[in-house]
Amino acid sequence: MLDWIGLDWIGLDWIGWIATAVFAASYFCKRPAALRRTQALAALLWIGYGSLIGALPVIVANLVVAVIALVSSFRPPEPAPAPAQVVE
């Protein structure tokens, strides 16, 4: 099926496993922007995997995730709310 590019199903499975590992590793990120960019990277790997196996739902779902993750990672953080004041 994918002999023309030298990949077999076992080789393709590794792309999916790497994407899964990158996504799981994103939960160890301490900064929200790093978490989102790592998740975007995982989504890009899933897009590549979906493209190679011809799975349009995998491609579209992860395209949405990658775009949202990247866009939201560059937004400035919201300011912290002011501490509540106690009125006596």
Q: Supply the angle between the helices 32-53 and 9-25 in degrees, to the nearest 10.
A: 170
Q: Which residue, 50, 40, 39, is CA-closest to 15?
A: 50
pLDDT at 11 over 80: no
pLDDT of residue 24: 96
User: pLDDT value at position 9?
Assistant: 57
Tokens representing 15? Answer: 């792309």
Q: What is the pLDDT of residues 35-77, one digit of tens each?
A: 999 999 999 999 999 999 999 999 999 999 999 999 999 988 7
